[in-house]
Amino acid sequence: MNPLYDPIASFGTGPKPLKLVVAGPVGAGKTSFVRSLSETEVVGTDELATEDIGKTFTTVAMDFGTLVLDGQPIFLFGTPGQDRFDFMWEVLCEGALGLVLLVAGDKPSEFSQARRILEFITSRISVPFIVGVTRQDLPKVWSSEDVAEYFGLPTAQVVSLNATRSTSSIFTLIHLLELVGAYQLSESFVSSDAGLAEPQNGFGQQ
């Protein structure tokens, strides 16, 4: 917890918050990741799963956490994993500084859904992203290289982590920010309107 930062009270006074989005299929570790990073109590919406999705609690709206880095507030949004909430992915990712798509490395059965989510978002919204392969602490998991191959991404865009550990989650965030920096968007993208930039998607875009 960061006692110095109250996201609600600070809204509208300090620097405009940046938005980071965490997406992925059910059980990928989104809630864990946001909890590992957040300095404030995570506003969660986990509820008993009403459908058989292989776990008891699932996020029904989203996770919300905050982080302050050198005075700059960062809002962390974890999207719900279930397909019927897919309308939220696009809304949340519009104008985000970056996107972390998580996939559980021990659940290859979820990979095609994860790829579908990622491609849907990244084909429509101009957002830098990395793929995080969670559960790397377990004995039998896919490596990030193999997952990169499956997603058709450069290996540098896929990282391994344990989403329940804050150090590992911070490393993941570092990797994302390095990538954001490499896009050289620091002037156009992360301007005063950073995090609230206009969406760039859709049919009419030239």
Site residues for another protein per CB under 8 A:
69-70, 72, 74, 86, 112, 116-117, 119-120, 122-129, 136, 144-145, 152, 154-162, 167-168, 170-175, 177-184, 186-187, 190, 194, 200-206
Distance in angstroms between the alpha carbons of the first and the last residue of the chain? 44
By a kind-dependent CB cut-off of 5 to 8 A, residue 203 interacts, out of another protein, ligand GTP, Mg ion, none, with another protein
Alpha-carbon gap, residue 68 to 178, rounded angstroms: 17
In angstroms, what is the minimal distance from the CB of 72 to another protein? 6
- Whether the CA torsion 91, 92, 93, 97 is positive or negative: it is positive
Pick between residue 126 and residue 134 the one whose CB is nearest to ligand GTP.
134
- Whether the CA torsion 7, 11, 16, 20 is positive or negative: it is positive
Q: Which residues on adjacent β-strands are paired with residue 67?
A: 74
59 scored as a contact of Mg ion (CB under 5 A): yes
Q: Which residues contact 168 (CB under 8 A, 6 or more apart)?
A: 36, 136, 161, 162
Site string for ligand GTP, 8-27 (x = CB under 6 A): ----------------x-xx
Pick between residue 3 and residue 154 the one whose CB is nearest to another protein.
154
Q: Which residue is nearest to ligand GTP (CB)?
A: 81
162 scored as a contact of ligand GTP (CB under 6 A): yes
**61, 137, 170, 199: which one binds ligand GTP (CB under 6 A):** 137
Strands 18-23 and 46-48 turn out to be unpaired
Alpha-carbon gap, residue 96 to 98, rounded angstroms: 5
Q: Which of 186, 177, 157 is nearest to 67 (CA)?
A: 177
By a kind-dependent CB cut-off of 5 to 8 A, residue 206 interacts, out of another protein, Mg ion, ligand GTP, none, with another protein
**19, 20, 30, 142: which one binds ligand GTP (CB under 6 A):** 30
In angstroms, what is the minimal distance from the CB of 95 to another protein? 12
Q: Which of 21, 15, 199, 36 is nearest to 123 (CA)?
A: 199
Sites of contact with ligand GTP (CB under 6 A): 24, 26-32, 55, 58-59, 80-81, 134-135, 137-138, 162-164
